[in-house]
Amino acid sequence: MNAMTEAVRKNNDIDAVIRDAPLFQGLQGREIDSVVAVATIRSLRRGEVLFQQGAHPAELYVVAEGWVKMTHVTQNGDQIALRFVQRGEHVGGAALVRGVPFPATAMAASDAIIIAWKSAFIFDLVGSSRTAARNALELVGDRADEFLSRIQELASDSVEVRLARHLAELVRRSARKTDRGVGVEFPISRQDLAELCGTTLFTVSRILTRWRDLGLVDPGRQRIVVRDVARLAGLANDRPQALDAR
Amino acid sequence: MNAMTEAVRKNNDIDAVIRDAPLFQGLQGREIDSVVAVATIRSLRRGEVLFQQGAHPAELYVVAEGWVKMTHVTQNGDQIALRFVQRGEHVGGAALVRGVPFPATAMAASDAIIIAWKSAFIFDLVGSSRTAARNALELVGDRADEFLSRIQELASDSVEVRLARHLAELVRRSARKTDRGVGVEFPISRQDLAELCGTTLFTVSRILTRWRDLGLVDPGRQRIVVRDVARLAGLANDRPQALDAR
DNA sequence: CGCTATTTTGAGATGGCTCAAGCTATGTGG
DNA sequence: CCACATAGCTTGAGCCATCTCAAAATAGCG
């Protein structure tokens, strides 16, 4: 594939991501065309920060390629990983449409490509399109739902169940499938998993070691492959018998 | 005060609550008048259920008098108290404007008066009024913020800090001030507090006993009076020295 | 090949949970 | 108006999941 066709493929690709983005669902004709027209692209290298917690949103973002980690820092200084955002999803979109500061910092978890729109353009859109306004409400609502399920977890599940659930979710959304199992497709550390589950990296490490001995996962340095998705999902649903030998 | 003037007072009162309700903020003239016109009133006795978790919202509610407890039941069967709703606040409003099932059950925590609107009317309003649409977004966004702060708490504060924070919040919103301190103005059990903090009634009981010995609170059967709001607030901000003797 | 970040493992401490038992307001029926 | 029933609360004892801190092992990377 030469440079030219590669560029064309990329454009089509980005076009598709834009048209499928949650905030733009259902937009028609001129509206969606103008959204595509004014989109800008930027690429991030792993570790680069897209925006900081507390900053005022100036742009709306969608991930076109790669993964972005959203981290919230509490008053006590503890880090919480709110979410890993993948291709097709908004980053910080709920804050932007509400006009409030970002509640978390967004950092590229892998090299990534981000699509961006100036906030003024988005405000116009949401103000003028009933469909976009409804999408904005849904976006924020989904965020609330997600938070509620985190509260449930923290209030009533063990660390092991929480880890199983988040890991199952990550591999469900990941495309890296091998004959040996399904891997998380970006580098993720024990610390990252700990922040996702509200625990410590030590506890995560111990649990992964146990799961490895049971043949559930194949953990590595910044890398995890789930060898038995079904059993992991069983654990995630708080069915301890998922750990029984087969 | 005779029955007639009492009825007039009540009406003015309810009128004021409606006009100040979050979803109706900023509505003008005919719009707000029609909102007032079609409002219906109902009263609940303590313990009565307004709606059940999982039900599809048929009406929008605002509390005109009393308190309503929102309880979410997890898959494991654990109860979580999401929030105690007071006069002027919506109950289940975020679910209604989103058109999703109620995430929690609403039960009167004291005798209460509720103002209600048919959901069709509210959908018309939110669909036709830009102001109401923006208010809906804010309502849902505030819910998300609230949930995020619960996640923070659960992930990084001790039970004692969480209890201090929720109790401080309750008395901040409560109007029952006496010379002996500030009381929560509706009956609230140890179990209720435990559900609010994600702990057990035993742990709550122990902490309250300790606080009583320190002169911080005056706990009773389904009743709590905070005698030193400032020290409690200090605890809530995770400053252990708040417990030092004075 | 050595440096450094990441991970594992160990040992010990502990906050909060569980369960059992007893206590005390409050309301109720006799 | 008393005695009893009951719901709510307290207290005790034991336990255990998880945290903390220290140290060693390992794996990439420059």
- Provide the CATH number for the domain around residue B234: 1.10.10.10
CA A237, C1' D20: Å apart? 29
CA B153, B154, B155, B161 torsion: positive or negative?
Answer: positive
Our count of domains for chain B comes to 2
Both A137 and A169 in one domain: the answer is no
Distance in Å, alpha carbon of B57 to nearest chain A alpha carbon: 15
Domain final residue, candidates B146, B167, B200: B146
Question: What pLDDT band is residue B97 in, cutting at 50, 70 and 90?
Answer: very high
**Residue A140 touches chain B, beta carbons under 8 Å:** yes
Question: What pLDDT band is residue A246 in, cutting at 50, 70 and 90?
Answer: very low
Both A118 and A206 in one domain: the answer is no
Supply the pLDDT for residue B193: 97
Strands (E), chain A: 40-44, 49-51, 59-65, 67-73, 79-86, 90-91, 105-108, 112-118, 176-178, 181-183, 217-220, 223-226
Both A175 and A212 in one domain: the answer is yes
Q: Kindly state the helix (H) or strand (E) to which residue A205 belongs, with its residue range.
A: helix A201-213
Q: How far is CA B159 from the centre of its chain?
A: 21
Domain final residue, candidates B98, B127, B146: B146
Q: Kindly state the helix (H) or strand (E) to which residue A60 belongs, with its residue range.
A: strand A59-65
CA B56, C1' D7: Å apart? 33
- CA–CA gap between residue A93 and residue A227 (Å, rounded): 34
Range of the domain at A14: 3-154
Both B108 and B161 in one domain: the answer is no
3-state SS, residue A110: coil
55-84 in chain B: CB under 8 A from chain A: 72, 74-76, 78, 80, 82
Domain final residue, candidates A154, A174, A189: A154
A213: tokens are 């001995």
- Could you tell me the strand order of the sheet in which B49-51 lies? B49-51, B105-108, B67-73, B79-86
**Residue B141 touches chain A, beta carbons under 8 Å:** yes
Contact A140 B140 (CB under 8 A): yes
Both A89 and A9 in one domain: the answer is yes
Cβ neighbours around B111 below 10 Å, total: 15
Both A12 and A131 in one domain: the answer is yes
Contact B147 A151 (CB under 8 A): yes
- The letter for the amino acid at B41 is I
Q: Is pLDDT above 50 for A180?
A: yes
Residues of chain B with pLDDT > 90, as a percent, come to 84
**Nearest CB partner across the interface for B98, out of A75, A82, A137:** A137
pTM of the model: 0.93
CA A221, C1' D28: Å apart? 9
D27 C1' closest Cα residue: A221
- CA–CA gap between residue A52 and residue A44 (Å, rounded): 15
Does B151 reside within a domain? Answer: no
Q: What is the 3 state secondary structure string of chain B?
A: CCHHHHHHHHHHHHHHHHHHCHHHCCCCHHHHHHHHHHCEEEEECCCCEEECCCCCCCEEEEEEECEEEEEEECCCCCEEEEEEEECCCEECHHHHHHCCCCCCEEEECCCEEEEEEEHHHHHHHHHHCHHHHHHHHHHHHHHHHHHHHHHHHHHHCCHHHHHHHHHHHHHHHCCEEECCEEECCCCCCHHHHHHHHCCCHHHHHHHHHHHHHCCCEEEECCEEEECCHHHHHHHHCCCHHHHCCC
Both A131 and A58 in one domain: the answer is yes
Q: How far is CA A180 from the centre of its chain?
A: 24
Nucleotide in closest CA–C1' contact with B210 = D10
Q: Which residues of B touch A147 (CB under 8 A)?
A: 144, 147-148, 150-151
Mean pLDDT in residue range B174-183: 82
Both A125 and A185 in one domain: the answer is no
- CA–CA gap between residue A206 and residue B21 (Å, rounded): 50
Q: Kindly state the helix (H) or strand (E) to which residue B83 belongs, with its residue range.
A: strand B79-86
- CA–CA gap between residue A62 and residue B131 (Å, rounded): 27
Does B232 reside within a domain? Answer: yes
**Nearest CB partner across the interface for A80, out of B78, B141, B155:** B155
Tell me the CATH number at A9.
2.60.120.10
Mean pLDDT in residue range A100-125: 97
Contact A74 B127 (CB under 8 A): no
CA B58, C1' D6: Å apart? 37
Contact A145 B198 (CB under 8 A): no
Contact A72 B148 (CB under 8 A): yes
Question: What pLDDT band is residue B245 in, cutting at 50, 70 and 90?
Answer: very low
- CA–CA gap between residue B43 and residue A170 (Å, rounded): 47
Residue of chain B whose Cα is closest to the Cα of A140: B141
Q: Is pLDDT above 70 for A106?
A: yes
Q: A194-221 pLDDT, tens per residue?
A: 999 999 999 999 999 999 999 999 999 9
Interacting residues of B161 by C-beta distance below 8 A, sequence separation 6+: B153, B235, B236, B238
CA A210, C1' C10: Å apart? 16
A246: tokens are 């087969």
Does B54 reside within a domain? Answer: yes
Q: B224-239 pLDDT, tens per residue?
A: 999 999 999 999 987 6
Mean pLDDT in residue range B15-43: 94
| Chosen from B147, B160, B197, B200 to mutate, greatest number of chain A CBs within 10 A | B147
- CA–CA gap between residue B61 and residue B18 (Å, rounded): 10
Mean pLDDT in residue range A19-31: 94
First to last CA, chain B: 47
Q: A130-169 pLDDT, tens per residue?
A: 999 999 999 999 999 999 999 999 999 999 999 999 999 9
Both B134 and B172 in one domain: the answer is no
Nearest to B22, CA basis, from B12, B35, B38: B35
Both B191 and B107 in one domain: the answer is no
Quick check: A119 and A59 in contact, CB under 8 A? yes
Question: What pLDDT band is residue A111 in, cutting at 50, 70 and 90?
Answer: very high
Cβ neighbours around B17 below 10 Å, total: 20
The protein residues having a beta carbon less than 7 Å from any atom of strand C are A 189-191, 201-202, 204-206, 208-209, 219, 221-222; B 158-160, 198-200, 202-203, 220-221
Nearest to B44, CA basis, from B101, B110, B99: B110
Both A79 and A165 in one domain: the answer is no
Residue of chain B whose Cα is closest to the Cα of A156: B78
